[in-house]
Amino acid sequence: MRPNKVREIWASGGVVKNGWLALESTMAAEGMASVGWDSCTVDLQHGFADELTARQLFQVVSRFDCTPLARVAWNDPAKIMRVLDDGCYGIICPMVNTPDDAAMLVKNSKFPPQGERSYGPQRGLLYGGADYAAKANETIINMAMIETREAMSNLEAICRTDGIDGIYVGPSDLALSLGHQPAGVPTNPEVVGAIEEIVRRARDCGVVAGIHCGSVEMAKDWIAKGFQFVTVYTDFVAMVTKARENLTALND
């Protein structure tokens, strides 16, 4: 089976730099994947792509040395099975609040006997290779999103769930759950403290910690504190941010 670059980087102790695809545009995805991100995540929760477009985005990303991932809309077996069948090599699942939620994610994403995923990978077989069925369970990654107060109270049990490879911090939802306003770069001490606790607990449990970042500086800071999977902006936010910078410069 085609190796998972994300797993290889983690195994070497490195950091995965992840691009985020919110737009439904194949041109935007091609541009993002071409610049050298280790992986690109199609956002099916808050992004603009539907299932058909997601498949097309996976195909575009797969032209490059860039691992296709998906942030699914929910911990739904049918939705998870679909993106995996379409060649997605990793699932980022929102709102994993309990160890039962984490176990459900694993069950939904793995073939028996580890899980209950139905067999029929279609494009996944073309992208992954002829031995997909034998090696998919050990190749595809699962990341549980930690973004609520409840998830924080169950953090260690979630991290220790068999089949969970990493956790992914959603700082905005985490801030809201803790009673604070969301910010692209969190500065509230309680939110920052919670994120620091997450990366410590993840490291103690032997799983990777990832985080969505509102700036390059934020990403570098959290890498220094132990995060091994970082996203900066989205394709849409990057476009708007750069356009705003250019217009401001022109108006000066």
Return the exposure string of 81-114: e unless at least 16 CB atoms fall within 10 Å of the residue's CB, then b.
bbbbbbbbbbbbbbbbbebebbbbbbbbbbbeee
Q: Is 136 helix (H, G, I), strand (E, B) or coil?
A: helix
Render 65-132 in DSSP notation, one character per residue. S-EEEEE-SSS-HHHHHHHHHTT--EEEES---SHHHHHHHHHHHS-TTT--PPS--THHHHHH-TTH
- Just list the catalytic residues: 46
Q: Is 220 helix (H, G, I), strand (E, B) or coil?
A: helix
